[in-house]
Structure 1
Amino acid sequence: MRLLVVTQKVDKKDPVLGFFHRWIEEFATRLDFITVICLETGEYSLPKNVKVLSLGKKQNVQSRALDRFVYIFRFYKYIWQERANYDSVFVHMNQEYVILGWKFWKLWRKKIFLWRNHARGSLWTHIAVSLSDKVFCTSLSSYTARFSKTKIMPAGIDTDLYADNIGEYKRNTILFFGRVSPVKNVHVFIEALLKLEKSGADFHADIIGDTTDQWYEESLHKRGARLENIGRLVFHPALSHEQTSGLYKKYSFYVNLTSDGSLDKTILEAMAARVPVLVLNSAFRGQIHDICCLTDLNSLSVSEKMKTLLQLSAMERENIGVALQEYVKREHDLKYLVELLMKEMA
């Protein structure tokens, strides 16, 4: 089978999209040839049966209207010139490409598969889904989960990468990792830390990630000023995807306060590293230990749960971590995902 993959970025060091480099590598072990069309490229090293074509967006440069016209022109150029080199199309996250390319792909009898995991959708989402042969997502809370042609899939975590980096952790340390934005509820996390500090708990917390919302970032520093001044809270810039493999293991536990909609990969990466987590997403309730799940979003309940996790003995932490790692390997491993996708796209 030969596959055209259309995605946003191919860059193994990208903090957010770097994981997709491993997806392409794993696809390459199962397919004869892969053509990748992406909006932009960074650093990548892929097998010989993978060809990468960039639409030309430059990193960290805002696109203008003329640039977008060039991207669309190149998109049509590439799908035409490569049409004999692929049998099916896998569009990752960006539904716009389905809407742009469907006429040609249907004319050439190429099957269209859409992976879309956002919590929200629009009329364009309905159109993209109607034009696709199948749709994939990882959560019942994803907008596309409502459609009959949608298949719920594993999240695709490279469990071997994180399992190989298990080691000693520093007690009483808390990690909050990912894009710093209101949807991540970082402000609630800081309010919970303030309550935790007031209760007399001993801890150190790191928030790691970049933001494009300057106002929000400034408001977080104002909220957490006292904790920063006494060394209880430190903000750090984002890390490349490659650097995350050794990150989680250093902490007592990881906190993620993203609401329902999709399965945040960082949660599953932390689990794969055998690290306890504290999560808001209801998809995990009944799947993992109750101590790791929040039932509502308020700073008091987050603070109380974090205090409980801080009080775990080394053995209790290890037992919870092992169970979480087994869950991810069983339900969300990358090899398992690719195996299922190959069957669905056959």
Structure 2
Amino acid sequence: MKLLVITRKVDRDDWLAGFTYNWIDKISQRIEKLDVICLEKGNVEGLGKNVKIFSVRSQKKVNNIIIRKIKDFIIFQKLVLQNIREVDGVFCHMNPEYTIAVYPLAKIFNKKIVSWYAHKQVTFRVKLMEKITDKILTPSKKSFRLPSKKIVITGHGIDIEKFRPQEKNSKEKFIIISVGRISPTKDLETLIKAVDIIVNNFKNKNIVVKIIGAPGLTNHKTYYNSLQKMVKIMNLSEYVFFLGAIANKNIPQMLAESDLFVNLSNTGSVDKAVLEAMSCGLPILTSNEAFIDILDKKQIIKQNDFKMLARNIMEVRNKNKEEKKEIGIKMRKIVKESHNLNNLAKKVIEQFY
């Protein structure tokens, strides 16, 4: 089988898009040829010889947004025309615009389109995508909110070989980690307030919080700055550390060094970063309603309830080694059974038969 994949970025070093590299690698191992059209191309070292990456955007930047979009569209259509004749189908990853843009040529050459979408937002473009695509792959029922007979549930596609439990070295500090875009929806101030209670009320000084990620939008930078200021005012600089964006390929090691993963996102969608931590066998505490049916009640935190979060952190902190190991086995089992990248790669390919 030969497939064409359309995605935003292929770069194993990218902290947000790094997982796409893993997807391409796994899918390519199961088919004869895989061509990829992306807006941006970064480090693609290590992919198989049957993979070709075509980048829409060159290194030369175009400052005018309108001119850039027109140029992108023209180059995109040329690349599609160049590759679509030889493939058996097109897999459009994430953005509905890719499905819409490739549809005319896919229709002309009678190629099947399979689209991936994982967001609760239902826009006109999503509705149009649903009408013109042949299949819609989505990780869960809540990640595609439009009723459709075309939906296929796949899980999130976590690379369980890459994100796996590792033997932990004994250490004095209890390390909490949080990974993801830094934005108001992540509610990191609740985590900071919980740390304040643990340090100053519970008098537990052997705690470290590592926040990995960066703000994506300009207004998110204001939020990021307010968090840093909050840590400084509360005298928590010895306990809370902002590590910035770290490449996805390096996250497994960061998780291996940690004892607990905290996610306070209120997006209502299953967060891939949480699943990666679960695959590594880390205990989870989250306020994300998407995990209510996945995790135990004690792992679910009420939104903005920093006192509850502080208590539950200490409860995990005080568990013995065997109890923590049992939790880790349970976490990994959930990901292995429902969000395994190997299974997702198979499901993607199955849609084209």
Q: For this pair of structures, how many residues does the alignment match?
A: 346
Q: Residue in 1 aligned with 2:317?
A: 310
Which amino acid is the alignment partner of residue 307 of structure 1?
M
**Residues 246 and 62 (structure 1), Cα distance of their counterparts in 2 relative to 1, 3 Å cut:** farther
Structure 1 residue 229: Cα displacement: 4.8
The question of whether the paired residues in 2 share the 8 Å contact of 1:34 and 1:51 is answered with yes
2:32 corresponds to 1:41: no
What do you get for the CA RMSD once the two structures are aligned?
A: 2.1
Q: Identity of paired residues, percent?
A: 28
State the shift of 1:187 in Å.
2.1
CA distance in 2, matches of 1:216, 1:103: 42
Q: Alignment partner of 1:82: what SS? A: helix
Q: Which residue of 1 aligns with 2:88?
A: 87
CA deviations 1:281-329 (Å, max 9, x no partner) are 3333343333322354432322222222222222211110111112211
Q: Distance in 2 between matches of 1:119 and 1:298?
A: 24
1:194 to 2:201 alignment: no
Q: 8 Å contact 1:139–1:283 — kept in the other structure?
A: no
Q: Secondary structure at the match of 1:90?
A: strand
With over 3 angstroms needed to count, the CA separation of the structure-2 counterparts of 1:61 and 1:317, relative to structure 1, is farther
Distance 1:64 1:243, change over 3 A: same
Counterparts of 1:263-278 in structure 2, within 5 Å, are 263-278=270-285
One-letter code of the match for 2:174? N
1:108 maps to 2:105? no
Deviation at 1:16, TM superposition (A): 0.7
Displacement of 1:81 in angstroms is 1.2
1:244 aligned to which of 251, 262, 266: 251
Q: How many angstroms does 1:172 deviate by?
A: 1.9
Listed as ranges, the gaps of 5+ residues in structure 1 are none
> What is the alpha-carbon distance in structure 2 between the residues aligned to residue 62 and residue 178 of structure 1?
28
How far off is 1:63 after superposition?
A: 6.7
Q: For each residue in 1:245-267, what CA deviation from the matched residue of structure 2 results, as whole angstroms up to 9, or x when unmatched?
A: 21112111010112354321211
Please report how far the alpha carbon of residue 36 of structure 1 lies from its aligned counterpart in structure 2 after TM superposition: 0.2
Alignment deviations for residues 147-185 of structure 1 (CA, whole Å, 9 cap, x no partner): 331122111111111226443364422111221111222
One-letter amino acid of the structure 1 residue matched with residue 309 of structure 2: V
Structure 2 CA distance for aligned equivalents of residues 310 and 57 of structure 1? 49
Change (3 A) 1:140 1:334: same
Q: Equivalences for 1:1-346 in 2 at 5 Å?
A: 1-45=1-45, 46-56=47-57, 58=59, 64-144=65-145, 146-163=147-164, 165-168=166-169, 170=171, 171-200=173-202, 201-202=204-205, 203-212=207-216, 213-227=220-234, 229=236, 231-346=238-353
Aligned mates of 2:163, 2:234 — CA distance in 1: 30
Q: Is the 8 A contact 1:282 1:295 kept in 2?
A: no
- Find the residue that maps to 1:53 and give its secondary structure: strand
Q: What is the one-letter code of the residue matched to 2:208?
A: H
Q: Give the secondary structure class of the aligned counterpart of 2:38.
A: strand
Unaligned runs of 5+ in 2: none
